[in-house]
Amino acid sequence: AQPAADPMRDEIIVYTQKREQSVQDVPIAVTAYSEEQLKRLGVQQFDELADYVPGLEVQEQSPNNPGFVIRGITSDSGAANIEPRVSVFQDGVSVSRSRGSFVELFDASVEVAKGPQSTLFGRSALIGAINIIQNKPTYELGAELRAGYGNYDHQLVDGFINVPLVQDVAAFRGAIRYKKRDGY
């Protein structure tokens, strides 16, 4: 989900149907947040995202095992032989198995499509789909670095660098996040 280039328009662009479209032209229920919106809200993980997406609940069953609930229907089985009912995609690659779908929402935008999405996201999307779109390299030089410290020795350092290699041909973008927090 990315705001349009013209700041006077409130158009949000989504990729839910595998192509760039205005959210108003997509005939399914989609909630989309850009990277800037996620930063402003302080959202870094799926359970925090659920506070801002109607009909989405994320149950943190263990550090690497989120259970997704969309519109009251759960998909919390982590068994290898059970197909998940909520698809999670990161840049077009399925990370739907609950043991592998723990993703930091950093340097990315997020789209949550509610309702059956099997046509677009495969048979695992009977309840809905979560689409994470990592920021792509641009042809402009840029960088950002953030650091934070909090209670229980919480440490956070993240940032990105974007470097144009060959004008309008090739560019590089690297992003990193380090998080650590002691227990009680």
Q: What is the pLDDT of residues 37-85, one digit of tens each?
A: 999 999 988 889 999 999 898 887 766 677 788 877 776 665 666 667 7
Q: What percent of the chain has a predicted confidence (pLDDT) above 70?
A: 81
For residue 34, which of 162, 156, 177, 135 has the smallest C-alpha distance?
135
d(CA 72, CA 83): 18
Structure pTM?
A: 0.77
Structure tokens at 113: 């499509």
Residue whose token pair is 């927090």: 181
87's enclosing H/E stretch is strand 86-90
Q: Hey, which residues does 131 pair with through a beta bridge?
A: 89, 111
Question: Could you tell me which residues come within 8 angstroms of residue 17 by beta carbon, excluding any fewer than 6 positions away?
Answer: 26, 28, 120
- CA dihedral over 75, 79, 82, 83, signed as positive or negative: positive
CA 170 to chain CA mean position, Å: 25
Q: Please, are residues 131 and 110 in contact by the beta-carbon 8 Å criterion?
A: yes
d(CA 29, CA 91): 20
> Residue 149's pLDDT band (boundaries 50, 70, 90)?
very high
Q: What SS3 state is found at 179?
A: strand
